[in-house]
Structure 1
Amino acid sequence: MPEGVEGETEAIDGVEPDEPAAGSRNPFASRDYRAWLTASVVMALGVGIQIVAVPLFIRDRVEPDERAAAIAGALMIQELPGVFLTLFGGVLADRMEARLILVRATAVAAVVAAVYLVLAAASVTILWPVFLLSAVIGAVGAFENPARMGVLPQLVTRPQLQNAVIIGNVGFLAASDFVGPALGGLVAGIAGLTAAFSLETALLAAGALLFLMLRKYRPEAPAEHGSIRGDLTEGLKYVIRSRAILGLLILSAMLGIFFGGPITVTMLLIVEDVL
């Protein structure tokens, strides 16, 4: 094999020698994509359990007329770090090995779940740790999400990328927004919050270990980057110039403000009133 061709082949870390031709659109042909998807779904199940378990934890520690405000406050505190840190998380994902960001972020989320487990098992009645832990989870998401999605082009070939993104998003959302919350509510109802937080901790820890199974993917050389501040500024300018991206961001924000947030806060209160 010519020297130039050999060097080019070795540089493509995301394609295994036994994979089908580059024209295949099946992302499951990539061993690393399968590992990535499994880790993402397992982690998302833990996130889904937390969506239910934390409001239940708050409910048991505040008066009925204060529950809505307490749950809303925890949700707002969890979302704020993402507003301010997601762009920085994206810039960091371009400079660091994505696998390490994913492992560390998911491990931190597992530690937070373990703290909730201890608080629930010890029947701690103070509420302020919830707001601190919510801020930590929000910061974790700001770094984990860009790294998790940003590594995809390195795991699959270009023809496989569209299907990889679609399947990955559907799997993550199904686990985090449907299966995980249902599982969390079921476990909490049958075995209590301690069991729910134990399961969440186990799933997040398993997700961190599964992300560790990904091969190392080298980020771009530092010489190819500008300063962090320069990259952040350029990213903001690009979003502002692009009407399509700006519109999608506004639509996503509206969905969270007028649907996702109110549902998270009111669902528990509605269920309690009905039952």
Structure 2
Amino acid sequence: MKLKDSLGALGDPRFAWYFTARTVSTAGSVMVPVALAFAVLDVDQSAGALAQVLGVRTLVMVLFLLVGGVVADRFSRIVVLQVSHVLTCLTQASAAWLIISGHATLTQLTVIEGVNGAVSAFTMPAMMGIVPLVVDRTRLQQANALLSFSRSGLGIIGPAVAGLLVVGVGPGWALAVDALTYVVAILCLTRVRLPSRGEEARSARPSMVRELREGWSEFTAREWLWVIVLVFGVTNAIHAGVVGVLGPLIARQTPAIGEAGWGLILSAEAVGTVLMTLVMLRLRLAHPLRAGMIATSVLAVPMVLLGLAPAVWPLALGFFLAGAAIEVFGVGWSTALHEHVPVAVLSRVSSYDALGSFVAIPVGTFLYGWLATLVDTEALLLVSALLFVAVSLSALLSGSVRHLGRSAEEPVDSRPGDVPPGEGTARVDDGGHAGVDSGVDAGVDARA
């Protein structure tokens, strides 16, 4: 595939503006994990404090995810995204002011991140449902890879810059930049026009409970989908505890790493993702979930290194490999959802996906914050790595995961909704799944 073909999705103005909005907002967001972690540790130097802030954010997000999925399917996904961006801008600006002024407390940061978590519950389902509406179906993998390339490319410099800002002027300034980028993203989103839902879709809608039941039916009808979600319910808990809690704690306690070193390590992860994105722009995954789950097991490598070799360069190598692995799964998963789930229910299905995948993250965050005070850190990391590999590869026991292929056709729509212009609703064969034929990073763009 030529480079021009790989970038073809940007030829559609709708996707180009959406891509720009996502890129701008990501430019600030990539600095937040480093800045927030060390802002919390400045207030209270304990794993429990960091676990509290991160855990509450994820817990609140999980509580609102199903509502967020229904809202994104009921209303304009662009409007939902814009409102979410306004709220995120306000909360991040508030956190930045408190931190810069020296008035931040653990309670304040916990509440602010809790609000951010609630907003994210509406943002993620809306984003998942937009991509199939702003790009031709034949370019879905390229579009997802371009979005990932943007996020990962910025991720190379974002954590490193955040680490330098933390050391130089303090973590609050990174959060201030993040707030500003959302203003620009909101303006870009005003240029994105989605297809009309049609008269039937604009008529009286069923109750929210009924729509949730429809989304659940679509979700459970696809074995490959709920199997992956169950697996990530466990692996995300492990990953959040190791990288989100133990990582910054070990970095601060290890003079050879420190805040700046931890930022460089996370940047190395982004380098791996970017390089793999270049591959994904040209390589068509015949079985995206099979490749994705094998790649996911590689995320155990930095966990082992964090326990055995807590130094910048070994960890940077491990996170580089993990970044490449994240990209393989992230693009494969998003493409599978976009190709095999009807777009009218995609936001609700992705909200169930996110709910199942993320529900254990606050548990893992709190658990690792507690275990860090009781268990030898090296042993905890090695056991975590072994469990991570075992659970990740267990998904391949499902034939529907191993054999899910690709489809250029539109999946059957269970009811009226947003339909990409010029696309039909032909039934596709996804390998024999029950119910409606089927197929999030992060949202997720990227789950892990």
Same fold (TM > 0.5): yes
Once residues 145 and 219 of structure 2 are traced to their aligned partners in structure 1, the CA distance between those partners, rounded to angstroms, is 22
Query: C-alpha separation between the residues in 1 aligned to 2:231 and 2:152?
Result: 17
Distance 1:180 1:150 in 2: 27
* Rounded Cα–Cα distance in structure 2 between residues aligned with 1:149 and 1:174: 20
2:10 to 22, 28, 36: 28
Aligned position for 2:52: 73
User: Which aligned pairs between 1:178-217 and structure 2 lie closer than 5 A?
Assistant: 178-215=156-193, 217=195
Instruction: Write the letter of the residue equivalent to 2:110.
Output: F
Aligned to 1:102: 81
Per-residue deviation, 1:246: 0.5
Q: Could you say which residue in structure 2 is the equivalent of 1:268? A: 248
Deviation digits for residues 199-241 of structure 1 (CA, Å, limit 9, x no counterpart): 2222222222222232355445233743211111121233233
Report if the CA contact (8 A) 2:91-2:112 is conserved.
yes
8 A contact 1:95–1:219 mirrored in 2: no
CA–CA separation in structure 1 for the residues paired with 2:99 and 2:14: 37
**Once the two structures are aligned, what percentage of the paired residues are identical?**
24
Please, which runs of 5 or more residues in structure 1 have no aligned partner? 1-22
Greater Cα shift, 82-91 or 101-110: 82-91
Distance 1:217 1:77, change over 3 A: farther
**Gap change, CA 1:81 and 1:179, over 3 Å in 2:** farther
Counterpart of 2:48 in structure 1: which amino acid? A
Q: Deviations over 1:139-176 (max 9, x none)?
A: 1111111111211122112212232123224433554x
Are the counterparts in 2 of residues 44 and 180 from structure 1 also a CA contact under 8 Å?
Answer: no
CA gap 1:100/1:194 in 2 versus in 1, 3 angstroms: same
Runs of 4+ in 1 over 6 A off after TM superposition: none
Please say if residues 120 and 193 of structure 1, whose CA atoms lie closer than 8 Å, have aligned partners that are also in contact: yes
Matches within 5 A, 1:177-256: 178-215=156-193, 217-219=195-197, 221-223=201-203, 225-256=205-236
Distance 1:228 1:46 in 2: 34
Q: Deviation at 1:98?
A: 1.5
Contact persistence 2:39–2:172 (CA under 8 A)? no
For 1:150, the equivalent position in structure 2 comes to: 129
1:171 is aligned to 150
The aligned counterpart of 2:30 is 48
Q: Secondary structure at the match of 1:151?
A: helix
Contact 2:81 2:126 in 1 (8 A): yes
1:119 pairs with 2:98: yes
Query: Could you tell me how far apart the structure 2 residues matched to 1:187 and 1:214 are?
Result: 34
Report the Cα offset of residue 136 of structure 1. 0.9
* Conservation of the 8 A alpha-carbon contact between 1:45 and 1:179: no
Larger helix fraction of residues: 1
Contact conserved, 1:153 with 1:161, CA < 8 A, in 2?
Answer: yes
Counterpart-to-counterpart distance in 2, 1:88 and 1:146: 10
Q: How many residues of Structure 1 are paired with residues of Structure 2 in the alignment? A: 249
1:183 shift after superposition: 2.6
Distance 1:246 1:174 in 2: 31
Report the CA distance between 1:27 and its aligned residue.
Answer: 0.9
Find the aligned partners of 1:118 and 1:185 in 2 and give their Cα distance.
19
Go from structure 1 to structure 2 and tell me whether the alpha carbon gap of 1:174 and 1:245 turns closer, same or farther (over 3 Å shift).
Answer: farther
| One-letter code aligned to 2:174 | A
Q: Of the two structures, which has the highest relative contact order with CA contacts closer than 8 Å and spacing of 6 or more?
A: 1
**TM-score (ref. length: structure 2):** 0.52
Return the offset for 1:273. Answer: 1.3
Q: C-alpha root-mean-square deviation of aligned residues, in Å?
A: 2.3
Q: With structure 1 as the length reference, what TM-score do the two structures score?
A: 0.82
